């Protein structure tokens, strides 16, 4: 019996025992780590829920997606703990009633979903890479279309340079570059419809150099708001440059500020563009194959309750029609807004004119001059407001015939 008890342990048995002990220690260590991690999470959540806790995103384990403590922060969204990725959702709706009384023809009373947009935006793989996508629905033109409005990505590590690629809004017209929810009137001016360069697919560089902001873009053929398609039928690329100088405080791209500003704002901009036209436009009196050289000069001024904005448009179109001379088209708008009651009631006035040089697109009858008065009621700034305007529309055909029509628009707006 003593011989058995005092017998040495064989090496194979000792190795098996050591391996078993290691497995036990590893399992217990893992359990301890999980308990410590769980305790840390509970402590952080308890601290965050206390009154003295900091507002913002609730702490959680690294890399885990977490919602904001506040369900709304300029949109509904989420982000990772390290802020490497984020996603924000926004919505926008304009519902409009229009009563048109032309000098000749049928009177029209009509409701429209003018604009209905859903947007997603955020950053990816760090703070320098951003993305934006936006889909739009509308009932304009007796349709119920839904389509991709914007889809782009951008890189920026400083205010001096941002690089952008995809389909994006073009920094040509001050009025169109302004979000439609921040306009002084329910819609763009007649001149902006006739001369604007809205969106295109391409590449864009922009940045700030103190009081001067610059934009430069190379894009596919730019379609007017009544044009379709995205690619270049002719293969030619368009180009655009814009410079904006802040003379006083920056005016920005906002036609109306519900809250009176403390310091006067004044910015002046100039933009030039070359556009190989690939789609016909009744708005702009252009046909496929035309080659358009565009120039616009604009300014925005704001002081206390007063806002003033104006622009002049110039376009020389080398027409595709054989033997036809160039068309030199001109346009303008000037508008003023004044808050009768700050943050509540605003009175608006605008005049806008379009002078086409000669007939080109068969859908265009001639020139137009509009005189418009508007009244805006703000409930939550531009995010919830009601707008109404009345216009006198004076038209002159290319044959020299004059007519006068009237138009009433009432529009409700929701943005979040």
Per-residue pLDDT tens over the stretch 93-142: 999 999 999 988 899 999 999 999 999 999 999 999 999 999 999 999 88
pLDDT at 62: 43
192 to each of 189, 201, 208, 301, 323, how far by Cα in Å? 5, 20, 26, 19, 29
Identify the residue with better confidence: 156 or 42: 156
pLDDT given for residue 71 in this prediction: 73
Least confident of 38-47, 361-370, 390-399: 38-47
Q: Quick count: other Cβ atoms within 10 Å of Cβ 360?
A: 23
Q: Tell me what pLDDT residue 345 has.
A: 99
Number of H helices, E strands in the chain: 4, 18
Does residue 92 register a pLDDT over 70?
Answer: yes
Query: Tens of pLDDT along 298-357?
Result: 999 999 999 999 999 999 999 998 888 999 999 999 999 999 999 999 999 999 999 999
Residue 21 confidence (pLDDT) = 62
Q: What is the DSSP string of 354-402?
A: EE-SS--STT--EEEEEEEEEEEEESBTBTEEEEEEEEEEEEEETT--E
pLDDT of residue 224: 96
- The answer to which of 33-47, 72-86, 363-377 has the lowest mean pLDDT is 33-47
Quick one: pLDDT band at residue 42, thresholds 50, 70, 90?
Answer: low
How confident is the model at residue 50, as a pLDDT? 38
- The overall average pLDDT reported for the chain is 89
How many angstroms separate the CA atoms of 196 and 227, rounded?
Answer: 12
Per the structure block, which two tokens stand in for 3? 């011989």
- Residues of the chain above pLDDT 70, percent: 83
**188: nearest Cα among 288, 97, 309:** 309
> 59 vs 178, which has greater pLDDT?
178
Split at pLDDT 50, 70, 90, the class of 55 is very low
Whether the pLDDT of residue 80 is over 90: the answer is yes
Tell which wins on pLDDT, 40 or 304: 304
CATH code of domain 89-415 = 2.40.160.10
Q: Nearest-CA neighbor of 41 among 60, 62, 54?
A: 60
> Is the pLDDT reported for residue 369 higher than 80?
yes
Q: How much is the pLDDT for 231?
A: 85
- Alpha-carbon distances, residue 178 vs 172, 181, 237, 253 (angstroms): 11, 8, 25, 5
pLDDT at residue number 303: 98
In this predicted structure, what is the pLDDT of residue 129? Answer: 98
Q: What integer pLDDT is reported at residue 230 of this predicted model?
A: 85
What is the pLDDT confidence band of residue 144, given thresholds at 50, 70 and 90? confident
Model confidence pLDDT, tens digit, residues 213-259: 999 999 999 999 998 888 888 778 999 999 999 999 999 999 999 99
Q: Are strands 76-80 and 65-67 parallel, antiparallel or unpaired?
A: antiparallel
| DSSP SS3 for 139 | coil
- The pLDDT of residue 152: 98
């Amino acid at each position: 019996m003593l011989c058995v008890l005092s017998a040495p342990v064989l090496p194979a048995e000792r190795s098996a025992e050591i391996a078993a002990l290691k497995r036990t220690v590893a399992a217990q260590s893992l359990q301890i780590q999980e308990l410590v991690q769980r305790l840390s999470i509970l402590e952080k959540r308890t601290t965050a829920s206390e009154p003295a806790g900091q507002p913002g995103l609730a702490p959680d384990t690294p890399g885990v997606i977490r919602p904001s403590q506040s369900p709304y922060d300029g949109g509904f969204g989420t982000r990772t703990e390290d802020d490497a990725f984020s996603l924000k959702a926004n919505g926008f709706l304009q519902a409009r009633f229009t009563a048109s009384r032309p000098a000749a023809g049928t009177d029209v009373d009509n409701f429209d979903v003018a604009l209905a947009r859903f947007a997603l935006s955020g950053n990816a793989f760090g703070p320098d890479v951003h993305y934006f996508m936006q889909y739009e629905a509308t009932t304009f033109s007796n349709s119920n279309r839904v389509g991709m409005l914007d889809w782009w990505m951008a890189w920026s590590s400083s205010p001096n340079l941002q690089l952008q690629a995809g389909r994006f809004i073009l920094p040509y017209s001050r009025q169109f570059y302004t979000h439609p929810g921040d306009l002084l009137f329910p819609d763009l001016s007649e001149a902006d419809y006739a001369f604007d360069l809205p969106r295109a697919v391409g590449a864009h560089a922009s940045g700030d150099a103190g009081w001067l902001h610059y934009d430069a873009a190379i894009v596919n053929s730019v379609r007017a708001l009544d044009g379709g398609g995205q690619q270049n039928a002719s293969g030619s690329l368009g180009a655009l440059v814009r410079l904006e100088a802040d003379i006083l405080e920056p005016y920005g791209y906002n036609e109306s500020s519900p809250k009176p500003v403390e310091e006067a704002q004044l910015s002046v901009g100039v933009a030039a563009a070359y556009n190989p036209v690939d789609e016909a436009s009744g708005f702009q009196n252009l046909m496929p194959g035309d080659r358009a050289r565009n120039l616009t000069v604009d300014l925005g001024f704001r002081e206390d309750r007063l806002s003033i904005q104006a622009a002049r448009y110039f376009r020389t179109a080398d027409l595709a029609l054989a033997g036809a001379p160039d068309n030199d088209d001109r346009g303008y708008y000037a508008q003023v807004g004044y808050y009768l009651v700050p943050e509540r009631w605003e009175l608006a006035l605008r005049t806008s004119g379009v002078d086409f040089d000669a007939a080109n697109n068969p859908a265009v009858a001639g020139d137009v001059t509009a005189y418009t008065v508007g009244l805006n009621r703000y409930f939550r700034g531009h995010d919830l407001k009601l707008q109404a305007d009345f216009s006198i529309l004076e038209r002159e055909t290319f044959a020299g015939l004059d007519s006068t029509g009237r138009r009433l628009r009432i529009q409700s707006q929701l943005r979040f």
